[in-house]
Structure 1
Amino acid sequence: MKFGNLLTILLSMALFVAPWQVQAQVPETELLEELDEYASPGVRGMGKPRGVVISYERLPGFDIESESDDPRLGNGEGHIKRHNKFSVRALAPVLNKPQTKIIVGVNYELEEFNFENLTPASYDLYRYLEDKNLKSIGLQAAYLHSLNQRNFYLIRIKGELNGDYTRDDINISDYFKATVDVAYGWKKTPDYAIGVGFQWGYTFGRQRVYPGILYNRTFNPQWGVESIFPANARLRYNLNEKTLFYAGYRLEGASYDIFADQTSLSQFNEIELRRTDIKGLLRVEREIYDFLWFAVEGGFRQYYRHRIYDEVGSADELITNDLAGAGYVGVELYLVPPRKFLEKD
Structure 2
Amino acid sequence: MKTIILLLSGFALLSLATDAWAQDAETELLEEVTQFAGPGVEGMGKPRGVVISYERLPNFDIESESDDQRLGNGQGRIRRHNKFAAQIGAPLINRPQTKLLIGLSYDLEEFNFEGLSDSSYGLYRYLEDKNLHSIGLQLAYLHALNERNFYLMRVKGELNGDYTRIDKDISNYFKGTVDLAYGWSLSPYYSIGVGVQYGWVFGRQRILPGILYNRTFNPKWGVESIFPANTRLRYNANEKTLFYVGWKLDGSSYDIFADQTDLKQFGEIELRRTDIKGLLRMEREIHDFLWFAVEGGFRQYYRNRVFAEPGDTDELIDNDLAGAGYIRAEIYLVPPRKWVD
TM-score under structure 1 normalisation? 0.90
Unaligned 5+ segments in structure 1 are 1-5, 15-34
Code of the residue aligned with 1:284 in structure 2: it is M
* TM-aligned CA deviation for residue 316 of structure 1: 1.4
Amino acid at match of 2:25: L
1:88-142, Cα deviation, whole Å (9 max, x unpaired):
0012111100110011000000000000000000000000000001000010010
- Equivalences for 1:98-247 in 2 at 5 Å? 98-167=96-165, 169-247=167-245
Structure 2: distance between partners of 1:8 and 1:185: 21
Counterpart-to-counterpart distance in 2, 1:217 and 1:8: 21
Tell me the distance in 2 between the aligned counterparts of 1:36 and 1:177: 32
Deviation at 1:212, TM superposition (A): 1.1
Structure 2: distance between partners of 1:13 and 1:267: 43
- Which deviates further from its counterpart, 162-171 or 105-114? 162-171
**Could you say what secondary structure the match of 2:201 adopts?**
coil
Contact persistence 1:111–1:134 (CA under 8 A) = yes
SS in 1 for 2:204: coil
1:71 and 1:282, CA in 2 relative to 1: closer, same or farther beyond 3 A? same
Work out the CA distance in 2 between the residues paired with 1:302 and 1:316.
22
Once the two structures are superposed, residues 217-259 of structure 1 have per-residue CA deviations (whole angstroms, 9 ceiling, x without a partner) of 0000000000000100000000000000000001011110001
Residue number among 294, 297, 310 corresponding to 2:295 in the alignment: 297
The 3-state SS of whatever aligns with 1:62 is strand
**Correspondence for 2:321:** 323
State percent identity of aligned pairs: 72
Q: Which amino acid aligns with 1:212?
A: G
The structure 1 segments of at least 4 consecutive aligned residues displaced by more than 6 Å after TM superposition are none
Which residue identity does 2:134 align to in structure 1?
S
Q: Which has the higher contact order (CA 8 A, sep 6+)?
A: 1
How much has 1:167 moved relative to structure 2? 2.9
Q: CA deviation at 1:166?
A: 1.6
Q: Is the 8 A contact 1:36 1:149 kept in 2?
A: no
Decide whether aligned partners of structure 1 residues 8 and 196 sit closer, same or farther in structure 2, where only a CA change above 3 A counts: farther
**3-state SS of the aligned residue for 1:202?**
strand
Alpha-carbon distance in structure 2 between the residues aligned to 1:144 and 1:341: 21
Change (3 A) 1:80 1:97: same
Q: How many angstroms apart in 2 are the aligned matches of 1:278 and 1:138?
A: 22
Structure 2 gap ranges (5+):
1-20
1:42 maps to amino acid: G
Deviation at 1:203, TM superposition (A): 3.0
- What is the alpha-carbon distance in structure 1 between the residues aligned to residue 288 and residue 312 of structure 2? 48
The match for 1:52 is 50
Check 1:94–1:105 CA distance in 2 against 1; reply closer, same or farther (3 A cut): same
SS of the residue corresponding to residue 48 of structure 1 reads: coil
Aligned length: 318
Structure 2 equivalent of residue 309 of structure 1? 307
Give the Cα–Cα distance (whole angstroms) in 1 for the partners of residues 165 and 204 of structure 2.
23
CA distance in 2, matches of 1:90, 1:78: 37
- Counterpart-to-counterpart distance in 2, 1:127 and 1:288: 42
> In the TM superposition, what are the counterparts of 1:211-290 in structure 2 within 5 Å?
211-290=209-288
Judge conservation of contact 1:13–1:181 (CA < 8 Å) in 2.
no
